[in-house]
Amino acid sequence: MASYWLFKTEPAEYSITDLAGEPGATVRWDGIRNYQARNHLRDDIAKGDQVLIYHSSCKVPGIAGTAKVVSAPYPDPSQFDPNSPYYDAKSSVGAPRWFCVDICHQSSFDNVIPVSRLRTVQALAEMVLFRQGRLSVQPVSEGEWQILVELGLHKRHPVPVQE
DNA sequence: GCCAACGTTGGC
DNA sequence: GCCAACGTTGGC
């Protein structure tokens, strides 16, 4: 059974619009360098899981759209690349430290659902987003997911057909 | 720009 | 293994 997740990104660096514009609307979600987030990526996330894309550190932080996990977890190649900002000299191919998955864009909300609004929803009070800051890959419960889909229902447009 | 929360580092 | 210092995250 599919699980639900929230991935944070700073839209100035990489946004839901960037994701939608990728070839096949698919991208490697790499560069995660936090152990708790790593553990989710390595141990808990599976192909077919659903992802909320969250825009942080921007004018209107909040949920910007949805994506789907389209690969199994695998070692993040950037940890082995000395020219990458995500290079980790203490990692090795034999004992990789960091993991990633590929995700595919599913939907963009016409307007971000602001975190300030999410805070006002009683049923979302237990979200990891509020219980624990600073975690860029975090689980979302099925109940939370359904509420968030409801909130986004009238603020969503379908994925543009890829050429 | 402020600052609270929290992860990481490094001396001991 | 403790914990102070430091760095980063991220909303406001």
Partner residues linked to A84 by β-bridges: none
A131 CB burial (10 A radius; 0-12, 13-18, 19+): exposed
pLDDT tens, residue order, chain A (163 aa): 789 999 999 999 999 999 999 999 999 999 999 999 999 999 999 999 999 999 999 999 999 999 999 999 999 999 999 888 899 888 889 889 999 999 999 999 988 999 999 999 999 999 999 988 889 999 999 999 999 988 886 656 555 544 3
Q: Is the minimum distance from the CB of A131 to strand C below 7 Å?
A: no
Question: What tokens were used for A82?
Answer: 């000395």
The C1' atom of C1 and the CA atom of A122 lie apart, in whole Å, by 41
Q: Could you tell me the domains of chain A?
A: 4-153 (3.10.590.10)
Report residue A72: phi and psi, to 5°: -75, 160
Q: What is the DSSP letter of A134?
A: S
Please name the helix (run of DSSP H) or strand (run of DSSP E) that holds residue A55, with its range, or none: strand A50-55
Q: What is the DSSP letter of A120?
A: T
Q: Is the minimum distance from the CB of A128 to strand C below 7 Å?
A: no
* Closest CA-bearing residue to C1' of C9: A134
Q: What is the C-alpha to C-alpha distance for residues A76 and A98, in angstroms, rounded to an integer?
A: 6
Helix H, strand E, coil C: the string for A100-151 is EEEEEEEEEEEEEEEHHHHCCCHHHCCCHHHHCCCCCEEEECHHHHHHHHHH
Report residue A63: phi and psi, to 5°: -90, 125
